[in-house]
């Protein structure tokens, strides 16, 4: 299966305050690229709580480009791809909020959530938080570092594919009953084709 795993860290409670993005590219079930991008958040405000979580300080990113400057480089990783994240309710929402802030159209891509998939794949686990899940699956990583979180997310999906003998997003969706979300300019669809049609007709 080909996909890209992403993870965002934020400087504050605002979805647009992205200060780091992790990207892990998988082709034919093999990790082919890993990278982390440090981002100057908007607005440029940091909460101590967030700094304690990920360790990124204002000094580390104050001279970095903002997300819109990175977008021409980031977009090819997402456009036309299956994007996964461990809690798309946060990561995809943060992506959409930031693109909206800068007036940038959404890319065309599908996305799936490894929280929802892992809950169905490993219901016996008490917690499906990324650190607890990876400990149970024997995946080593450094939690709350976008570079490693994206890698861990990719490894979780690869493990699910292997354990259940599946090979595509469509098979994952059908087997576990977890819908494939979709982004395209002007619209985000989280559930079903029916919901997509409703949104399209509502925006016409």
C-alpha–C-alpha distance, residues 203 and 122, integer Å: 38
pLDDT tens string 81-92: 999 999 999 999
Largest Cα–Cα distance in the chain? 48
C-alpha–C-alpha distance, residues 84 and 7, integer Å: 9
The CATH number linked to 150 is 3.30.420.10
Q: Residue 204 above 70 pLDDT?
A: no
Cα-atom radius of gyration of the chain, to the nearest Å? 17
Nearest to 148 by CA among 5, 2, 26, 3: 5
3-state secondary structure 81-125: CEEEECCHHHHHHHHHHHHHHHCCCCCCEEEEEHHHHHHHHCCCC
What DSSP character marks residue 62?
A: T
CB-CB neighbours of 194 under 10 Å? 9
C-alpha–C-alpha distance, residues 52 and 55, integer Å: 6
Q: Residue 201 above 50 pLDDT?
A: no
Contacts of 176 (CB under 8 A, 6+ apart): 116, 117, 120, 121
User: How many domains, the chain?
Assistant: 1
Mean pLDDT of the 5-9 span: 97
CB-CB neighbours of 148 under 10 Å? 20
Q: Chain centroid to CA 58: how far?
A: 23
In the chain, the N- to C-terminal Cα span, in Å, equals 34
Q: What is the pLDDT of residue 102?
A: 97
C-alpha–C-alpha distance, residues 31 and 182, integer Å: 23
pTM of the full predicted structure?
0.90
Q: What is the pLDDT of residue 191?
A: 60
Mean pLDDT of the 25-44 span: 97
Q: Give the containing element (helix H, strand E) for 156.
A: helix 146-164
Q: What is the pLDDT of residue 200?
A: 35
pLDDT tens string 93-140: 999 999 999 999 999 999 999 999 999 999 999 999 999 999 999 998
Q: Give the containing element (helix H, strand E) for 47.
A: none
pLDDT tens string 136-195: 999 988 787 888 999 999 999 999 999 999 999 999 999 999 999 999 998 999 864 443
Q: Which domain holds residue 104?
A: 3-203
Contact (Cβ atoms closer than 8 angstroms) between residue 164 and residue 152: no
């Amino acid at each position: 299966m080909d996909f890209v795993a992403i993870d965002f860290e934020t400087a504050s409670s605002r979805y647009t305050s992205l200060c780091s993005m992790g990207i892990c590219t998988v082709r034919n079930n093999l990790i082919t690229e890993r990278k982390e991008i440090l981002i100057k958040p908007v607005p440029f405000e940091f909460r101590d709580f967030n700094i304690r979580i990920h360790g990124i300080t204002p000094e580390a990113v104050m001279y970095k480009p903002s997300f819109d400057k990175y977008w021409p480089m980031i977009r090819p990783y997402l456009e036309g791809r299956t994007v996964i994240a461990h809690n798309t309710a946060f990561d995809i929402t943060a992506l959409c909020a930031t693109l909206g802030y800068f007036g940038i159209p959404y890319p065309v891509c599908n996305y799936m959530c490894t929280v929802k998939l892992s809950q169905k794949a490993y219901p016996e686990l008490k917690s499906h938080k990324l650190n607890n899940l990876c400990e149970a699956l024997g995946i080593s990583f450094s939690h709350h570092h976008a570079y490693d979180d994206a890698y861990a997310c990719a490894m979780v999906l690869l493990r699910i594919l292997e354990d259940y003998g599946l090979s595509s997003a469509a098979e994952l969706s059908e087997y576990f009953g977890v819908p494939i979300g979709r982004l395209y300019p002007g619209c985000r669809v989280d559930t079903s084709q029916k919901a997509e049609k409703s949104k399209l007709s509502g925006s016409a």
